Amino acid sequence: MGPQRSARRQRADVNIANNAELRANAHHILATIREQRPENTHQVYSPKQEEFKAFCERKQYHDGSTVTEEKLLLFLVEEVANRPLRTRSRKVGSNVPQDETRLAWRSVRAYITALTDLWREQKALGMNSHPSPRVDSAREYLRSLQRRDAQRDREQYADKGRDTLLDGYTEDEFERLCSELWMHGADAASSSAAAAECHFRTLVDLMLGHYMLTRGGDRRSAEISDLFTFEFKGEGPTRCMPLIFTTRASKQNQHGRLETIGALRHRKPILCMLSGLAFYLLYRWDLGDEPFPDFSQRSAWYRIRLIKASTGDRTTAFSYNSQRDWVAKAYSYAGISSQKKTHLPRSGAAKLAELKGVSEDQIRRAGRWNQEQMVGCYLNSLPRKFMRTMAGHPPQMGCFEIPRAAVAPPDELLSLIWPELDAWKGRFGPHAGQINDLAAGGLTSLLLYLREVILQDSVALRRRFPGHPVWNHPVFQHKAYAAFAQDIDASLDAEAAPSRLSVLYQAIPLLADHLQALDARNEQRVRELKGSIERLLELQSSQSQQLQMLTSGSLVFRLETSQAPGGLLLPTPRLRETAALRSAAPQSLPSLSPSLADVASSRYTSAQASIAPTPSARSPSPSPLPAALELAPAPELEPAPKHRMCRAVRTVEDLWREWTEGLQGKPSIAELDRRWGNRWRAGRQSELQWYSLRLEVIKEIRRVAQARRTSEEAAMWQVSQQQQQRGCSLDQLCKQLRAARKECN
């Protein structure tokens, strides 16, 4: 017994040590999670969790603040959903009393999320064995709150224009907004030197949201190390150097995923994102107290804020309240009314892009909404058509043209802007003697280009805002600037008229669409002509059979007369079929053609024809004849079937089988198209759309087969493998293929 007792004691000691180690590791993991959690998440979760713990303490539950579904629902009902708002909300109408206000369902959902996080912590520590509180009851309760909020908005006559196209700004209003910021920056500079910089800061803030669809928090956290430029080849006659902004942390990106967006140089200087940024940095580094960045070490310039606070050093983040106040002030300048403030550029610009005809896929990529892994990891994610359209250029590639950019500034003027930049020119790169720093090389390339933008755009802006303090910079007082400004003035006259090359680039897609429409119409006419020829051949064959029957001797014509009023004898046409022929060959007698029927019905040359069993039947016979032979009309086109494609097809393989072989004994789609054209689906919009979308997969299979010189069956398996790798449905694959085809066009 002694050895067994000793073994059990050792086993118990090992279990105790293991359990202690597991608990310690669980505590360590939770501490790591809390430490790495974003600060905003911590600020949102902690007060709500403390409020729940205080509620449990008041209720004196035997298990304390252990999170269960029943406690969560009671806490929501008593402490959250039905209490008035603690502070006045800007979204509540002024005529609604404070005691009648309630938390919106989204705020209640935030409480559920915070307490679910507390439940996860308790479960990880072994303190909670209950199931997740976020089950069906909590979800249904949220839906009931959604219905309650909708009904309350109706009863309180909430503004129905909220979140619509009216809740934003037009393109003209955005131009007025930019103009007012320039103008008020000039007026406020007389009383405060920092006022002009603050107005430039707000201008850049709004442009980042407008052209790059960034959130307010992303703009506040942006750093100059997030910016660079890269030449886009083939964009047009003018060299295209976009402003590219990258981020690895945002509200929807808390795991370091790379997100990229860019903006092209605008045709109008007042609306140009690059111009606004260039003048803002010019004012900061040449006319203000802030020194030019030192690129010798990354720690010396990586943390410099793009939009910096008015107080503190240049690494201090811009606060939300200050950002909101300045944005609201800018809206008041331009007379823009909206309940949104810092988020308005993101939503307003997306609506403007849609009104300009930009595709949903381009807008989605620009706003980084639900990006795929391929876009985030391997593609640059730059939506070219969105960027061109928002910058005032045609959406086609090859039309980027800014006449003022063709005038190159002299080096003596360029060197006056950020003189310290010349020391870093050519210092970064992969070659010997260079510093291998991609971010520093990208930013210095951008600053070198922004020097040109400042000089080229300054002429038009100086004429429009002559009293702005930015024109006190020495570069605008230099004697070489006057001659350069004259050259720019000459180019400004050509701003409104695009070059012939740009017009040609714009016309080519329209011409291609027109030719495709002509081809489609010609193909339809050819099909109709083939059908007409086939019907004529069938009619000719029918008439030939009728003529052979008439001349074969099997038909007997007999004239009969009828008594007309006045004693006039008129011929009466009667065409009869004998029982002998009907029993001998009931299927061999064709119908008379319309031309023969016209002859038979003539008033003056009518005849009664009967088919006699013997040649003697040609003599008149008073015996009654069989039933009359009806004159059949010309053969009509057989009606097309109303086929419905299978809605249960989920894979490329099944779609290909339906298209080429048919499913469940039904004809294949290829056979229906060959025999009936588009008549089998004509007049049914849902079937037309279903067919058109599935046709994208068939086109892709044929394209792959042609490009790789393989069979269509092998190409089908390759496209099927693409669907499996993407992990998308057949409908999503069709839409992605259509978007990719339009992008290529």
pLDDT tens for 515-536 read 777 877 888 888 888 888 988 8
Give the separation between CA 417 and CA 451, rounded to whole angstroms.
6
pLDDT value at residue 707: 85
> b/e map of 530-562 (b: 16 or more CB within 10 Å)?
eeeeeeeeeeeebbeebeebeeeebbbebeeee
> Secondary structure of 615-679 in the HEC alphabet?
HHHHCCCCCCCCCECCCCCCCCCCCCCCCCCCCCCCCHHHHHHHHHCCCCCCCCHHHHHHHHCCC
Q: Collapse the DSSP code of 604 into the 3-class scheme (helix H, G, I; strand E, B; otherwise coil) and give the result.
A: coil
- Asked if residue 435 has pLDDT above 70, the reply is yes
Residue pointed to by tokens 């000719």: 540
- pTM over 0.75? The answer is no
pLDDT of 593 > 60? The answer is no
Rounded Cα–Cα distance for residues 371 and 555 (Å): 81
Asked whether 257 and 248 are in contact (CB, 8 A), the reply is: yes
**CA 211/CA 565 separation, integer angstroms:** 93
Band (24; pLDDT cuts 50, 70, 90) = confident
CATH architecture of 171-404: Orthogonal Bundle (1.10)
Please report, for residues 232, 235, 510, the alpha-carbon distance to residue 507 in angstroms, rounded to integers and kept in the order given: 22, 16, 5
Q: How confident is the model at residue 571 (pLDDT cuts 50, 70, 90)?
A: low
Minimum mean pLDDT among 50-54, 560-564, 598-602: which range? 598-602
176-201 pLDDT, tens per residue? 999 999 999 888 766 676 888 999 99
Give the lowest-confidence range in 379-393, 553-567, 623-637: 623-637
Each residue's pLDDT tens digit, 218-273: 999 999 999 999 999 988 889 999 999 998 877 777 777 888 999 999 999 999 99
pLDDT of residue 454: 97
3-state secondary structure of 177: helix
pLDDT one-digit tens code per residue, 32-51? 887 777 777 888 899 999 99
> Taking all residues of the chain, what is their mean pLDDT, rounded to a whole number?
82
Q: Is the pLDDT of residue 53 over 90?
A: yes
Q: CA-to-CA distance for 227 and 441, rounded, in angstroms?
A: 10
Greater pLDDT, 390 or 10: 390
Instruction: Provide the pLDDT for residue 236.
Output: 87
> What does the angle CA 433 – CA 438 – CA 439 come to, to the nearest 5 degrees?
125
Which phi and psi angles does 405 have, rounded to 5°? -75, -10
Give me the pLDDT at residue 468, please. Answer: 93
How confident is the model over 132-170, as pLDDT tens digits? 998 888 999 999 999 998 998 888 888 888 878 888 899
87-101, 334-348, 420-434: least confident range: 87-101
Backbone angles phi, psi at 644, to 5 degrees: -120, 120
What value, to the nearest 5°, has the Cα angle with vertex 258 and ends 253 and 260? 105
CA distance 93 to 469: 42
- pLDDT at position 518: 80
- Helix, strand and coil percent figures for the chain, each rounded to 5: 60, 5, 35
pLDDT at 380: 58
**Per-residue model confidence as pLDDT tens digits over 627-660:** 433 444 444 456 788 888 998 898 999 999 899 9
Distance CA(516)–CA(512), nearest Å, equals: 6
Count Cβ atoms within 10 A of the Cβ of residue 209 and give its class: 0-12 exposed, 13-18 middle, 19 or more buried. buried
More confident residue, 562 or 387: 387
Band the pLDDT of 503: cuts 50, 70, 90: low
**Distance from C-alpha of 196 to C-alpha of 349, rounded to nearest angstrom:** 25
pLDDT at 73: 93
- pLDDT reported for residue 375: 53
pLDDT digits (tens, 9 = 90+) for 403-424: 899 899 999 999 999 999 999 9
Q: What is the DSSP letter of 576?
A: B
Cα 34 from Cα 555, distance rounded (Å): 104
Q: Which pLDDT score is estimated for 330?
A: 95
Cα-trace Rg, the chain: 41
Q: Given pLDDT bands bounded at 50, 70 and 90, which one contains residue 399?
A: confident
| Mean pLDDT, range 462-473, rounded to an integer | 93
Within 13 Å of residue 36, how many CA atoms lie on the same side as its CB? 10
Boundaries of every domain in the chain? 37-87+98-155, 171-404, 500-529, 556-561+569-631, 652-744
597: confidence class by pLDDT, cuts 50, 70, 90: very low
Q: Give 704-720 as a DSSP string.
A: HHHHHT--HHHHHHHHH
